[in-house]
Amino acid sequence: MFLFLVVALAVVVGAVTLAVVGGGDNAPLPEAAPERLQDSLPPDRPVSRADVDRLRFPLAARGYRMADVDDALGRLAAELAERDARITDLESALAGARAAGEHPSMDKPAAHPEDDQR
């Protein structure tokens, strides 16, 4: 009985090896195409919170593909830097407008009483 199990195991291992390597008429197993990032960030508009929530990275041998993660993080970093610069510009414009509102403008000349009599 033991000899039969050893022979059956050898036959199964041999058949699987031939199937994988490509013995006989069958070609070897085709190379699996690497997974690529399908839900990329939109190139034609700013990234929204929903875009980041939907972002999923494909798994690789040791985690995630570094190139996909680096591309996504680079895009997010650039957009955050752009938004921070825009916020800084708007805050300084607001501060300037508030400062101008506190000090009345001296550009307008005072009305002369002689002008009212005409």
Beta strands 59-60 and 63-64: pairing type? antiparallel
- Coil, helix or strand at residue 61: coil
- Confirm whether pTM is higher than 0.75: no
Per-chain mean pLDDT for the chain: 78
Per the model's pLDDT, the better-predicted residue between 58 and 86 turns out to be 86
Burial degree of 72 (CB within 10 A; 0-12, 13-18, 19+): buried
Backbone angles phi, psi at 59, to 5 degrees: -80, 145
Q: What is the pLDDT of residues 38-70, one digit of tens each?
A: 667 778 888 888 888 888 877 777 778 888 888
Q: Give me the pLDDT at residue 44, please.
A: 86
Q: How far is CA 47 from CA 5, 36, 44, 77, 95, in A?
A: 60, 20, 9, 11, 28
- Coil, helix or strand at residue 64: strand
Instruction: Quote the CA–CA distance of 72 and 56 in Å, as a whole number.
Output: 10
